Structure 1
Amino acid sequence: MYEGDVDVFRKHRPAAPRGFFAVEAAGLRWLGAVGAVRVAQVIDVGEEHIAIERLTEAAPTPAHAEDFGRDLAALHDAGAPAFGAPPQGWDADGFIGEAPLPLRTEATWGTFYARWRIEPYLAESGIDARGRAVLERLAEALASGTFDDAAPPARIHGDLWSGNVLWTPSGVGLIDPAAHGGHRITDLAMLALFSTPQLGRIHAAYAEASAHLPAHWRELVPLHQVHPLLVHAVLFGGGYRAQAVDAAQRALALAG
C-alpha cells in the first residue's frame, strides 16, 4: 500500500506483547537518526501493528557492500549511553525476534553480556547439564572482565542477520532491529551467522573505517554469536543448542 509518496509495509500481530511494536519503532528511529546507514522509516505504530517504509530490493553489489561496511562503522560510532541502554524514547525491555530481550545497563560489556545475554536464556534453552556448565564458565569469564576492551558502547542494530539487511538500488537498508547499546563485534558476528551476501567486503570495509576494533576481532566472533544461538535454542531447539555450546567453548579457548 502507499501513503503519500511512500510505499508502506504493514505488520500486524493480534494480542502482541506490550511494547512489541513500540520498541521496534523506537529502535528504527534511534538508528535512523544517525543518518549513516539507511533505516526503514516508521510511518505508524500501535499496540498490534507497525507500518514502515517498504524498501525496494535489488541484487547485492560489491560497491554497496563496501559502503555498508563503512556506514555501519559510522552508525556504531554514534554511540549509546551505556552497554545495554535501550533506544532513545524507550525505557523498558525489548524483543529479539519473538523472544524477550532485557535492556538493562551495566558498566562493562562483559558483565552486561553475561548477566543479560547469557544467563536469562540458559534455563529455557534445553541445553543439557554439561553444556550449561560450559556456558556458566563463559559467563564467569565475561563477568570477570576477561573479554572487556577499551571500546565505548556502540549504537548497534542488535539483530543484524541477513534477513534484516535489505539490498536496494541505492545501497543497504535495515529493518527489524533489536537496537541497544552494545559491542561493535555483536553486529559483525550476527552478519556472519546466517550467510550475509558480500560478507567479506562488508567486514573489510568496516575494519578499515573503525578505530575501535581489536586486532583479533575475528577470533571473538563466536563469543558474540553465543547470544543469538541461545535465542534460537530457546525458540527452536534442535541443533542450535549444540552450536551455542560450541561457540562458548571456542570463546573460552581464547581465555586460556
Structure 2
Amino acid sequence: MDPKVLLRRAGLEAQSPFHPLHGGDISRVFRAGPYVVKVAEGAPPGLFPAEAKGLAALAARGVRVPRVLFLAEEGLVLEYLAEGPEDWEALAEMLARLHRRREDRYWAEPGFLGTFPLPGREGGGWTEFFFLRCVEPFLNATWGRLEGLGPKVEALYRRPLPTEGPAPLHGDLWRGNVLFTQEGPALLDPAFFVGERGVDLAMMRLFGGFPEAFWRAYRALYPIPEEVERALPRYQVCYLLAHVYFFGEGYLGPLWKAISAS
C-alpha cells in the first residue's frame, strides 16, 4: 500500500514530504512530519494488529513505545519519536523494571516473529510452554534444512529450563528494536508474550548487540542467576532457527554452537 493512502485513511495529513526510514526486512517505513507510516506488501493477516497489541501491552507496563495512531491490516501509523543520545543505563532501568513484573501465568496470544506465525498458548510449565509455542513451530518449518540437528534441538528441552516467574517480554529484543529518543529509550516492533526473562536476555546477547555499559547497569538492578545465564543458549536456539528459516543455512554454524553450549 502507498503510505500516503494509509495516512489519508487515518484522517491525518502531513505537511512534510515522506522520508524512508530503516524498517528491517519486513516493512517499508516512512517519516512524514509527526508521523511514522509502516506498510508491507503481502503482510500475513494479523501482522500489524499483533504489533499494535504488543505495543499497547508494553505501554501498559510502563515501557516507552510509539503511540499507535491508526491501525489497518495493511499497516500502521505511529507517532514519530525524535532521536536522542544513547543512554544504556536508562534502558537497563526500563527493562529491569519490566522483567521484575510478575504476571499470574505464562501466556501468549497468536502472534508473529517477523512474518512467521506463532500460536497462542496459556498456562502450564515453562519448558513445555516455550518449546511448543516458540521452538517447535520453527523446528518443524526448518527440519529438512538442519542437516541432522533437529533431534539435538528436541533433546535440549527434555531438561527443565530455570524459572524466576512469569514476566512480560518484548520477545524480539535485538539492538535494532531499541530507539533512543529525546525523552529516553523506547522499544519498537515487539513480539510480546509473558514468559521467562531469559528469552529477552538471550536475544540481547545474540550477535553482541548490547554493550557492557547496559549489562553492568542491568545486573546491578536485577542480578542474573547462574542457572539463567547457563540457559541462555537454549533460548538463543529458537532465534537461530528463525534465522535459518528466514535467511538460510548460513546460520547452522551459530545454531550448532548454541546447541553445544547448552
Query: Which TM-score band (shorter chain)?
Result: 0.7 to 0.9
Give the aligned residue type for 2:185.
V
> Secondary structure at the residue paired with 1:11?
strand
Q: How far is the alpha carbon of 1:3 from its aligned partner?
A: 6.4
> TM-score, normalised to structure 2's length?
0.81
Give the aligned residue type for 2:216.
A
User: How far, CA to CA, are the matches of 1:121 and 1:66 in structure 2?
Assistant: 34
How many residue pairs are counted as aligned between the two chains? 233
% identity of equivalent residues: 35
Name 2:154's counterpart in structure 1.
136
Q: Which residues of 2 match residues 145-224 of structure 1 at below 5 A?
A: 145=160, 147-149=161-163, 151-197=164-210, 199-210=211-222, 213-224=224-235
Identify if the C-alpha distance between structure 1 residues 66 and 222 changes in structure 2 by more than 3 Å, giving closer, same or farther. Answer: same
- Greater mean alpha carbon deviation, residues 7-16 or residues 169-178: 7-16
Name 1:80's counterpart in structure 2.
103
Name 2:3's counterpart in structure 1.
none
Contact map agreement 1:27 1:177 (CA 8 A) in 2: yes
Q: How far is the alpha carbon of 1:14 from its aligned partner?
A: 4.0
User: How far, CA to CA, are the matches of 1:3 and 1:184 in structure 2?
Assistant: 40
Q: How far is the alpha carbon of 1:163 from its aligned partner?
A: 0.6
Name 1:241's counterpart in structure 2.
252
Name 2:120's counterpart in structure 1.
103
Name 2:25's counterpart in structure 1.
none
Q: How far is the alpha carbon of 1:11 from its aligned partner?
A: 0.8
Contact map agreement 1:70 1:205 (CA 8 A) in 2: yes
Contact map agreement 2:36 2:80 (CA 8 A) in 1: yes
Contact map agreement 2:162 2:231 (CA 8 A) in 1: no
Q: How far is the alpha carbon of 1:12 from its aligned partner?
A: 1.2
> Secondary structure at the residue paired with 1:55?
coil
Q: How far is the alpha carbon of 1:191 from its aligned partner?
A: 1.4
Contact map agreement 1:108 1:148 (CA 8 A) in 2: no
> TM-score, normalised to structure 1's length?
0.82
Name 2:65's counterpart in structure 1.
39
User: How far, CA to CA, are the matches of 1:183 and 1:14 in structure 2?
Assistant: 33
Residue 70 of structure 2 is aligned to residue 51 of structure 1: no
Query: Over alpha carbons, which structure has the higher Rg?
Result: 2
User: How far, CA to CA, are the matches of 1:201 and 1:56 in structure 2?
Assistant: 23
Q: Which residues of 2 match residues 8-27 of structure 1 at below 5 A?
A: 8-27=35-54
Q: 2:89 aligned to 32, 56, 66, which one? A: 66
Q: How far is the alpha carbon of 1:59 from its aligned partner?
A: 4.2
Aligned CA-pair RMSD: 2.3
Q: How far is the alpha carbon of 1:108 from its aligned partner?
A: 1.8
